[in-house]
Amino acid sequence: MSDGDDVSPYLRIADGLRTRIAAGEFQPGDRLPSLADLRREHGYSTAVGQSAYRVLEQDGLVVARQGRGYFVRSPEPPPVLVRRQRVAPGEGSPTEATLARQGVAGTWRHESQPRAADDRIAARLEIRPGDPVMHTSYVYLADGEPTQLAESWEPMAVTGGSLVVLPEAGPHAGIGVADRMALLGIEVGVPVERVSARAATRAEAQALGVTPAVPVMAIERTYYDQATGRPVETADIVLGPRWVAEYGRRPRP
């Protein structure tokens, strides 16, 4: 029995893929063999292939993109993206406008559905647990690459029965919280944000296409009706490692 026979199957597969990447068979950005491909080639279970790719992710050679597979990571870091807290009223999606100013095309995937507010969201929106809210999940992309995640909740008592109840559907889709609320006669001003740094969860890392446990910026954001002080939207935002946050405005003499 050779020394190689004592190596775990997932490590042998990882080493083989690493060698193929180093030899240039797979270039930065290329899609790597699927888990089904690895299973057919090596005869091991899908779990073994997943473990092999997890090793390569931890080595920084591979990124997992949710629903798309595994890709060779580029050695060149992508350009930094600057996040500012608010764009001017009427400019549409704040994320899209912020990226456009930096020469980057911003798009996003989304899914909305009514839910009952749990205790945590009810406390943030100052409503009763179980009250109906519209929940929307987002994956934001910069030039086609995922860079930001968000989970948003809006009380149906504010938006229900209006044309803005679904943030990403209807005649006012995609224009952002502030402009949507303005259509209801609500001025929200600048949101309150609590910003912290933490490690990405495995699910977040996969959605963002980054190495598991990479540092991310986590933002708890809440918009308030400026006239009544009532919260009208709250969101959990996760910014990938490309982002830096900038606050305040430079004076223009």
| DSSP for 157-193, written as a single string | HHHTTSTTSSTTSSTTTTS-HHHHHHTTT----SPEE
Q: What is the pLDDT of residues 108-165, one digit of tens each?
A: 999 999 999 999 999 999 999 999 999 999 999 998 889 999 999 999 999 999 999 9
- Banded model confidence at residue 87, pLDDT cuts 50, 70, 90: low
Question: Which value, to the nearest 10 degrees, does the dihedral of the CA atoms of residues 49, 211, 150, 220 take?
Answer: 140
| pLDDT recorded at residue 90 | 78
Q: What is the pLDDT of residues 36-79, one digit of tens each?
A: 999 999 999 999 999 999 888 878 788 887 778 888 887 776 78
Domains of the chain by residue range: 3-72, 81-246
The matching CATH number, chosen from 3.40.1410.10, 3.30.70.2200, 3.40.50.2020, 3.40.1440.10, for 81-246 is 3.40.1410.10
| pLDDT recorded at residue 143 | 86
| pLDDT recorded at residue 2 | 39
Q: What is the pLDDT of residues 222-241, one digit of tens each?
A: 999 999 999 999 999 999 99
CATH fold of 3-72? Arc Repressor Mutant, subunit A (1.10.10)
Tokens of 60: 């920084």
Name the phi and psi angles at 192, rounded to 5.
-90, 130
| DSSP for 195-228, written as a single string | EEEEEPPHHHHHHHT--TT-EEEEEEEEEE-TTT
Q: Which amino acid is at 25?
A: E
